[in-house]
A and B are shown apart, each in its own frame.
Chain A
């Protein structure tokens, strides 16, 4: 049975080595960038909202530690198809998972639950949350 840390490393490593939806998204109509000034991580999230307000496509660009970039890759997989209005609540669940070590009662976050392994390293919380802060800002931004 692999430890939680090993599961975390496996998921993170998979997304680090094979990032999903990395690169520019020419059809995007929302964009936001967030920087982690203290360690130099950068993450830009671009997405296309369809007329019903669903996230039809999402992609990220950026640079930084494995955790910040893998978290962004995970994000793109998990939010595609969701209504933008669901993002703030999802952000809160991710935030709680990262800071407490497990998803809130009654939620199933799938692979995202791996982010809980970072809770014992408070200095890395901001790395795990960077992309999620970017998408929160992106859905709140005016259309481009």
Chain B
């Protein structure tokens, strides 16, 4: 199986020194690196085929359109959507969520309705719902996260009380970017459906890491970014059930989303074009399709097993460090490929600066999850997050580096 060390040479960026040390890139939760195949696909589009898509009658435009629509089909297959028309290209997870909030949300929510989210949501799956609640008079509620280090995850018992018929929409993450907790998406979708709530699954941390099948999960919407799965930045998608997308009002107005325009009014194209006003990120979509091919050639079950292994290894190794507090699942419990931690008396930004001097790239701060950090009583944590090219040796380097941090701040 090609994973870890065996495929590092596919990623040109990994072969470099940072501050005189070999780069150990452990910030995959923020963005992944790109394999040569993706970089080449984007470059080949600009070298050979660049033109605007749709309505093009010349050769380059027809080629660009075919490649762009092929990317849509490829993405549909990647998440097992029933129909490529269920894939709307966006700039990424954040825009996908805002699109649902501003179209489906604005058309369907009334005062007295409830939007349900969870306490572990990234700001991008929290702030748009706050804004929607303020606009519509709906109420925003949260499924609590339990455990002193959030180790128990979502309070599924409380979910029964919270999932009332007033809940019109339930938005939750597949994998918490702060905790490494993997939520039971299919169960949450089933329980939401039982009260008639529409589901929005934030797959930002799971896309390209875990096998994903929207039909098996039975979700209504699923959102993700390409750049966290070996694809380019600035491209992502909204998956939406066809019947829901067809009934939604447009998002942005402009070219590409209209059927007819008169000075007094316009009519809209069906989904997905209705939600894709303006020239799309054609190169990004083509790069994302190449990323789907790359990830599937490695195999998502293998990637998931590798991620989980490195996450568990890091969880266990870091537990031995004095004064450390580790968030999320305990040793032996399922964990995605990431570990967030804090040292007593050492600020996360200091940990990350010292680690950077050793060539180790971590992320720290509130991880776009300020309310959860406040609830856990932490100003910030540092996070190591893994992907298919990371290795057991890098986990060992991380541990050794954190020992240096402790020595420095002793």
Instruction: List residues of chain A with CB under 8 Å of any chain B CB.
Output: 5, 13, 38-41, 63-67, 121, 123-124, 127
Contacts and interface: CB of A to CB of B under 8 A. Distances in A.
12 contacts: A5-B357, A39-B380, A40-B366, A40-B380, A41-B347, A64-B347, A65-B347, A65-B348, A66-B346, A67-B349, A67-B350, A124-B349
Contacts of B349: 39, 65, 67, 123-124, 127
A121 B347 contact: no
B256 interface: no
Interface string B335-374: 0000000000011111001000100000001100000000
Interface of B: 346-350, 353, 357, 365-366, 379-380, 408-409
A20 to B, nearest CB: 19
A44 B348 CA distance: 21
B409 A66 contact: yes
Contacts, number: 36
A40 B379 contact: yes
Contacts of B348: 39, 65
A141 B189 CA distance: 55
B350 A38 contact: no
A65 to B, nearest CB: 4
Nearest to B374: A40
Contact of B365 (A13, A38, A121): A38
A66 B409 CA distance: 9
B341 to A, nearest CB: 16
Given A38-B365, A65-B347, A124 B353 contact: yes
A121 B19 CA distance: 13
Given A38-B365, A39-B347, A39-B365, A64 B379 contact: yes
B203 to A, nearest CB: 26
Given A39-B379, A40-B379, A65 B350 contact: yes
Nearest to B346: A66
A14 to B, nearest CB: 13
